[in-house]
Amino acid sequence: MPARDSRGANSASLDTWVPDGHSTVQPRTAELWQLLEQQHGVVSRGQLHQLGFSSRWIHHRLAKGRLHRLWRGVYAAGRPQVTRYGRWMAATLTCGPMAALSHETAAALWQIRPGAAELEISIFGAVRPRRPGLVIHRRSLVARAETTRRLGIPVTTPICTLIDLAASLPRNELEAAINEADKLELIDADRLRQALYGVKRRPGVGRLRELLDRRVFKLTDSELERRLLSLIRRAGLAEPETGRYVNGFKVDFYWPQLGLVVETDGLRYHRTPAQQARDRLRGQTHAAAGLTPLRFTHAQIRYEPAHVVDTLAAVARRRQSAGTSTSV
C-alpha cells in the first residue's frame, strides 16, 4: 500500500506527478508537496496554477483518481478521505482568500465547543459565494482584523468567536465556552471584558458583556461546578467566590459573609482512600475555623437537583439567622 502522509496526501502518487508538457511554467512539485503538508492534504485550483500546473494536468489527475474534488476548485490529493482539519481547510479555500472559519466551526477548531454538522464560514468583503453544505456569513472588511490562523487554517480569533457564539447560545453553554477558552489560555475574563469595549455594536456583544459582569460570571473548573452554580442561583444564594484558598485549601465555592464552603465530587476525583482522607481533613479544618462545609456528589447534582437546592437554601437561612460570618 502506498505511503500516506498524516495530513492526508498520498506520497507515492505525488512522487509520480510530473509535468505534462502543456504548461509554459515549470511545475514546482516539491513546493506542492510542502503546501499539501501545510494544508492537511488539500489544495485549490488557483494554488496549483500558481505552482505551474496546468488545467489539463489537473483534469488528467482528476480522471486518474490522484486528485479528488471536495468543493468547487478544491481538491484532496491522493485519496478522497481527508481529516477534519482537511475538511475545514478545504471549506475556507473554496470560499476564497478572504474566508475564515467562524461561529461553531471556529469554536470546534479552538476546542471550546464540539462543533456542529454544518460548517460555518465568514467572508470578509462584498462577495458571498454559495457552496452546498456551508453556512456562509458576510462580514465587513474591517472585521478582517479579527481573523488569525490555527494549524494553518484561517479562523476568527477566540474573542470574535465568542462574540459570534453569544448571539445564539443559551447562557449556560456560552458560560461553558468561556470557561473552556480560559482553561486553554486562549482568553481570560478580564481581557475579554476589556476587548469588548472596543467592539462596535453587533449581535452577541451585549449578551457577552452582561455575562462577564463581575457580579454575574464566575469561572469554574468543570461542567459539574457549572451545574452546581446554576443550582446555587436557584436556591437564592448570593454569587460565591470561586477558586479561593480557605484555611490552606482551594475551595470550589465560598461565601465569607455566610461562613459557608461548598465543594463538588466529580466522577474522576475523590475516589482513592488518600483523596477521601484529604476531603475529611478539609471538612474538619473548615469546621474548626467556624465554617460550615458542604459537599455534593456528582449523582446528587445531576439527578437530585431539588435536594441540592433545598439543602443550600436551608443552610444559608440558618447561617444568616445565626448572624455568623467568618472570613479566612
pLDDT score at 23? 46
pTM tops 0.85, yes or no: no
Q: CA end-to-end span of the chain, whole Å?
A: 66
- φ, ψ (nearest 5 deg) of residue 13: -70, -35
CB 119 within 8 A of CB 53: no
pLDDT band at 269 (very low <50, low <70, confident <90, very high): very low
CB 99 within 8 A of CB 113: no
The residue written with cell numbers 480560559 in the block is 182
Q: Look at residue 75 and tell me whether its pLDDT is greater than 90.
A: yes
From 3.30.390.50, 3.30.360.10, 3.40.960.10, 3.40.50.300, which CATH number describes the 223-322 domain? 3.40.960.10
Domain boundaries, the chain: 11-82, 95-217, 223-322
State pLDDT tens for residues 139-158.
887 778 889 999 999 999 99
C-alpha cell at 158: 477566540
pLDDT score at 175? 87
- Of the chain, the percentage scoring pLDDT greater than 70 comes to 85
Q: Look at residue 260 and tell me whether its pLDDT is greater than 60.
A: yes
State pLDDT tens for residues 85-119.
999 999 999 999 899 999 999 999 999 998 888 89
pLDDT score at 214? 67
What average pLDDT does the structure give for the chain? 84
pLDDT band at 279 (very low <50, low <70, confident <90, very high): confident
Closest CA to 107 of 155, 39, 175, 154: 155
State pLDDT tens for residues 178-229.
888 988 889 877 788 888 887 777 888 888 888 887 667 777 767 788 889 9
Helix (H) or strand (E) holding 33: helix 29-38
